[in-house]
């Protein structure tokens, strides 16, 4: 009986592993950047399609409503709708897709809540985008287990960042020093912490 139960347990573990591998592969496909699509429909529409495909939400400039349905994205002339806010809560966005953010000029708010693929290189890449350095003023990073002090320190490049909420980040080991570095680089920055 013990051999049978070990065999069944082994088969179930293999199934679970292949299921996880499948979802990881699918998420990577969703994050693949299509540069031709960006050229054809513009950076805001292409980024909105990427974000919604990955389970995030976007809000366009001049609108209060959050869009979460890929098929419900507004249509209209090229460049009419500009992304103002991104809520990536529980989405599968990952570094591979961050090229979609390059052309965005109006993003003021970003939320990364429970994003399992967000890691330091994502925050470093985000912080290196000149358009976002100028426009982004509010950000949340919550329950992103792969984010460490290194990724948070990179946010110092977002020169207009005024509010940063940080919570449930087990990879952050030097809270006080990290916050002090950010506030020294960004004197107007208000950091709210819930890291205990």
Query: Is 158 inside any structural domain?
Result: yes
pTM for this entry: 0.86
Query: Is 14 inside any structural domain?
Result: no
C-alpha distances in Å from residue 101, one per residue of 2, 72, 159: 54, 21, 17
CATH of the domain at 148: 3.80.10.10
Query: Is 8 inside any structural domain?
Result: no
The domain in which residue 143 lies consists of 32-194
Q: Which tokens go with 138? A: 């509010």
Query: Is 4 inside any structural domain?
Result: no
Number of domains in the chain: 1
Which pLDDT tens digits describe the chain residue by residue (196 residues)? 555 555 545 544 555 545 556 556 556 667 889 999 999 999 999 999 999 999 999 999 999 999 999 899 988 888 889 999 999 999 999 999 999 999 999 999 999 999 999 999 999 999 999 999 999 999 999 999 999 999 999 999 999 999 999 999 999 999 999 999 999 999 999 999 987 6
* Per-state percent for the chain, helix, strand, coil, to nearest 5: 45, 15, 35
Closest CA to 192 of 171, 170, 161: 161
Query: Is 149 inside any structural domain?
Result: yes
Query: Is 24 inside any structural domain?
Result: no
Query: Is 6 inside any structural domain?
Result: no
Query: Is 126 inside any structural domain?
Result: yes
């Amino acid at each position: 009986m013990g051999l049978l139960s070990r065999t069944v347990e082994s088969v179930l573990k293999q199934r679970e592993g292949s299921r996880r591998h499948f979802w990881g592969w699918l998420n990577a496909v969703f994050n693949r950047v299509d540069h031709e699509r960006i050229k054809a429909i513009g950076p805001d529409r292409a980024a909105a399609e990427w974000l919604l495909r990955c389970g995030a939400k976007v809000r366009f400039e001049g609108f209060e409503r959050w869009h979460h349905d890929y098929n419900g994205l507004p249509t209209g002339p090229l460049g009419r709708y500009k992304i103002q806010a991104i809520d990536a809560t529980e989405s599968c966005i990952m570094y591979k897709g961050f090229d979609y953010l390059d052309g965005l000029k109006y993003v003021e708010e970003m939320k990364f809540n429970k994003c399992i693929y967000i890691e330091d290189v994502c925050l470093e890449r985000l912080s290196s985008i000149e358009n976002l350095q100028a426009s982004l003023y509010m950000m949340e990073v919550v329950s992103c287990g792969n984010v460490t002090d290194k990724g948070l320190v990179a946010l110092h490049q977002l020169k207009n960042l005024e509010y940063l909420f940080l919570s449930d980040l087990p990879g952050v080991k030097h809270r006080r020093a990290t916050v002090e570095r950010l506030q020294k680089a960004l004197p107007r920055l208000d950091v709210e912490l819930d890291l205990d």
